Structure 1
């Protein structure tokens, strides 16, 4: 057991370090943002009232439980702390179960005295330990901000137990699906679905007379995110919902172990769809093969982009109405969007989120090249008259086209959402400038992921996703949390063109173009000299 745990720690230490540091940084910076941006009780009350007045915004925020500093901090950041813990845990679970089976490592370990069961037990212990460390450090960061000890420890505990729930979900998905890609996709969809269920449960709840607190509907109990929020740190400090998450995670982990004992190695309970005996003309080139492998994911990301685009323009008018009664809303959005009037700022903020979606799609596609290499399937392609540079270039091209598809989907949906808007012309200009700029920011991650893939193949997945995570924290949440301006400029999402006073401010456009060009060129050039590394 100890050897298996050491092996997992050697493989994961960098990825876990980045996930945990990002989560702790969000907790610490969140308190700084609350104290700087919402220094008075009136500021916090105004924001809570504004959020409750808009059900769509309410769906994507935490549960209002009061207007004190600690209560408002929980409302601001608890959903994101739990989401980071959930993502870390699901990827960890799939990587050490289904991922090891795909790479052939599980079969080798099963041939030793460890057998088939012990590696799964080691993965469970490893995942729980990672979440405990994350929870303790989050609590210590909040305690260091001189917040109440009971609420701080509960914030850390709910973050950790939500991660443990999704550790169990990831282990179950690894048993159901036949590939790690399918298992990861299933867990992400469950994560998004349960997050939305919790949001709907909060929206359907009953607000208090002073508009600082919501009593959620019973629907929230169908979501692990709802369990975390019902703990109400710095308010009721209820530990029972947090313990519910821990119990659910352990039950799911036990169920995953039982499922593993009932299936053959390499198989899944959900069978893979049979493929065609002969490839059609559309699969006659390596480039077409990349499209075939990634097409479903691109469609999913494009739908997300379109939803973000229509929300950007439909909510811009509602935000203007809310800000007339709550000036604090204007201040919040100004810090993130840095654009002109409030409607333009709302569009800018939503399209920043679209840029993050596009970057995630690009990273997923380029990471697919690493997965093909690690699984040995890239060798079959490269045994044909296809060079390594051409092979990698196909992934970069498809990733770039995917970004374009997502951006266009978001822009078209945003234009459609402007129907009937009195400021449609000016907002359409904002959509165009900001949408294209965020597409360029997403291309930065295409180039950087390719460069990491060439230089550090085994770290491709962890490092690439960590770069997106850090850029999101600094670019989207940095201004809100009061981080220095120079730190936010490290994020490509924060230096893209915006519209100010009717004109376009290009800001860091040329730097982004330079990074994309040099990163892609360096990756393709270095790929000529790199040997394939099939070991995961």
Structure 2
């Protein structure tokens, strides 16, 4: 029976998991190319590590320094992002095949067979372990392919996958606690982000070595699975026992989830849903108001992220300028990403490119919510009223645009507060307004593209919508560092959004981005008029 369940999951997830696994391995291989081209000598790498240890805020978003050798330096730069990709793959997989299946009715069908209620959870755990094993092997193969030590490569890939197994357990447990897949995914992602920041803070307050190329973690780092993965120190110490902590915690969380699944009724949860209002607000009398009600919780989370990006964009400019004066390679790398020469502007542009990714995620999430409403049958109830399908989808598009503007607006507030706290020049606020507005238009492109996918191939809405963001992020944010040609980088909307260079505003791809938004929105609404509701598979 478990073999049949695994086969069914493999058929459903083949394309999605392939994108996660191959994308993670590609980032590992391209990371090597970027490091070799930007930090060719050990002196340059040692200088960056010394600057990072002298300004610990940088360690919030990087790994644990373990030396200036080429391989260890690559792990310092990209391991946290490899672990994040493995974690997101795992927790989304866990929720999709447990709470998600219950919401869509598949869980009840499977529970009516000899599989019962617990075997599907066991099969999901096994499926997640297999996916993480594939990720570990392919990531290790990418490192070996670029000439790194095979043993260290395997340990590096295994460390990222071990963190993924931990969050597989987190996702399974969250699916038992929360009543909806949206709530379970939100809880899992917040736990992931919190532990990521705990690891970063723990590294930042650690003890540096005398030569400023290695950092010993503080006790705080050991409270995070990301810290366990980083303390493996691949290509340096190659420790294995921290991996056992990740696997043990993932096993305990998974076993707890299996036990909880056996103790609750199908469709119920251990955390009760909040009671609704006795009467609906006037806003819920419209389909757009309903779409906003469904999206507002996620909008708040993305807005918090946008605010933090805005703060960092302006407060770290001085730090980066100091580092760039000592190590020109750092300034060169920032300028490659940003496309401008001024350090302050380049730093702000780099962070606001990340803002474009956050805003795009927020907009795509809203459109994906329309697909979820369709598969759960609630959209059919709404459309049974005198409401045209075009108007229904347009409500989600409007809300997606509003959410994007909220996220970007929160970044503007954060940027202003950062400037005020640093007593910096307010010319950066103009740069923030121009760059942020451009990234908002880029985020609109992702929203309308996902809406177009929703009308053409509804079943691919969620996987393809998120995959486009991941692909565009690699091209637009990391492409210049990886040495990709400009024409390829400019295929990403976030990579071709307007920027400020000196005193001039460079519109870059603003007009084709705006045109894509208009044409995409009109095409999606026109096609929605012609298609019927499409249930889940």
State if a TM-score over 0.5 links the two structures: yes
Which string of whole-angstrom CA distances, capped at 9 and with x for unpartnered residues, describes residues 468-509 of structure 1?
Answer: 111111111121222333321221111011111310111111
Look up the SS of the partner of 1:357 in the other structure. Answer: helix
The equivalent residue for 1:167 is 168
TM-score by length of 2: 0.98
Look up the SS of the partner of 1:418 in the other structure. Answer: helix
Instruction: Determine the C-alpha separation between the residues in 1 that align with 2:48 and 2:363.
Output: 35
Instruction: Determine the C-alpha separation between the residues in 1 that align with 2:488 and 2:353.
Output: 17
Look up the SS of the partner of 2:301 in the other structure. Answer: helix
Cα offset for 1:421?
5.9
| RMSD over equivalenced CA pairs, Å | 1.3
Which string of whole-angstrom CA distances, capped at 9 and with x for unpartnered residues, describes residues 318-367 of structure 1?
Answer: 22122222222211211111123101100001111111111111011111
The equivalent residue for 2:408 is 407
Task: Kindly report which structure 2 residues correspond to 1:484-523, keeping only aligned pairs within 5 A, or say none.
Answer: 484-523=485-524
Look up the SS of the partner of 2:103 in the other structure. Answer: helix
The equivalent residue for 2:341 is 340
Which string of whole-angstrom CA distances, capped at 9 and with x for unpartnered residues, describes residues 172-205 of structure 1?
Answer: 0000000000000000000000000000110110
**Residues 424 and 253 of structure 1: CA distance in aligned 2, closer, same or farther (over 3 Å):** same
1:37 aligns with 2:38: yes
The equivalent residue for 1:49 is 50
The equivalent residue for 2:527 is 526
Deviates more, 1:414-423 or 1:492-501: 414-423
Instruction: Determine the C-alpha separation between the residues in 2 that align with 1:228 and 1:139.
Output: 15
Task: Kindly report which structure 2 residues correspond to 1:420-435, keeping only aligned pairs within 5 A, or say none.
Answer: 424-435=425-436
Task: Kindly report which structure 2 residues correspond to 1:275-286, keeping only aligned pairs within 5 A, or say none.
Answer: 275-286=276-287
The equivalent residue for 1:3 is 4
1:178 aligns with 2:179: yes
The equivalent residue for 1:317 is 318
The equivalent residue for 1:476 is 477
Cα offset for 1:154?
0.4
The equivalent residue for 1:398 is 399
Instruction: Determine the C-alpha separation between the residues in 1 that align with 2:514 and 2:144.
Output: 42
Whether the 8 Å contact between 1:50 and 1:329 is mirrored in structure 2 is no
The equivalent residue for 2:84 is 83
Deviates more, 1:45-54 or 1:340-349: 45-54
TM-score by length of 1: 0.98
Look up the SS of the partner of 1:504 in the other structure. Answer: strand
Instruction: Determine the C-alpha separation between the residues in 1 that align with 2:260 and 2:83.
Output: 27
The equivalent residue for 2:350 is 349
The equivalent residue for 1:294 is 295
Whether the 8 Å contact between 1:323 and 1:329 is mirrored in structure 2 is yes
Task: Kindly report which structure 2 residues correspond to 1:362-401, keeping only aligned pairs within 5 A, or say none.
Answer: 362-401=363-402
Instruction: Determine the C-alpha separation between the residues in 1 that align with 2:301 and 2:83.
Output: 23
Cα offset for 1:110?
0.8
The equivalent residue for 2:269 is 268
Look up the SS of the partner of 2:480 in the other structure. Answer: coil
Cα offset for 1:423?
5.9
Cα offset for 1:420?
7.0
The equivalent residue for 1:245 is 246
Instruction: Determine the C-alpha separation between the residues in 2 that align with 1:519 and 1:184.
Output: 29
Whether the 8 Å contact between 1:340 and 1:499 is mirrored in structure 2 is no
Which string of whole-angstrom CA distances, capped at 9 and with x for unpartnered residues, describes residues 248-293 of structure 1?
Answer: 2122111110010011100110000011232122322111111111
Instruction: Determine the C-alpha separation between the residues in 1 that align with 2:16 and 2:328.
Output: 40
Task: Kindly report which structure 2 residues correspond to 1:131-210, keeping only aligned pairs within 5 A, or say none.
Answer: 131-210=132-211
Instruction: Determine the C-alpha separation between the residues in 2 that align with 1:303 and 1:126.
Output: 33
Deviates more, 1:165-174 or 1:321-330: 321-330
Whether the 8 Å contact between 1:97 and 1:171 is mirrored in structure 2 is yes
- Structure 1: give runs of 5+ residues left out of the alignment: none
Which string of whole-angstrom CA distances, capped at 9 and with x for unpartnered residues, describes residues 101-158 of structure 1?
Answer: 0001100111112221221121111111111011100001101111111110001101
Instruction: Determine the C-alpha separation between the residues in 1 that align with 2:301 and 2:82.
Output: 24
The equivalent residue for 1:331 is 332
**Residues 156 and 278 of structure 1: CA distance in aligned 2, closer, same or farther (over 3 Å):** same
Instruction: Determine the C-alpha separation between the residues in 1 that align with 2:127 and 2:426.
Output: 54
Instruction: Determine the C-alpha separation between the residues in 2 that align with 1:326 and 1:29.
Output: 22
Deviates more, 1:220-229 or 1:282-291: 282-291
Instruction: Determine the C-alpha separation between the residues in 2 that align with 1:44 and 1:19.
Output: 29
Cα offset for 1:517?
1.5
Instruction: Determine the C-alpha separation between the residues in 2 that align with 1:308 and 1:298.
Output: 15
Cα offset for 1:374?
0.7
Cα offset for 1:239?
1.0
Instruction: Determine the C-alpha separation between the residues in 2 that align with 1:175 and 1:211.
Output: 45
- Structure 2: give runs of 5+ residues left out of the alignment: none
Look up the SS of the partner of 1:272 in the other structure. Answer: coil
Instruction: Determine the C-alpha separation between the residues in 2 that align with 1:161 and 1:58.
Output: 21
The equivalent residue for 2:24 is 23
The equivalent residue for 1:455 is 456
Cα offset for 1:50?
1.6
Whether the 8 Å contact between 1:58 and 1:203 is mirrored in structure 2 is yes
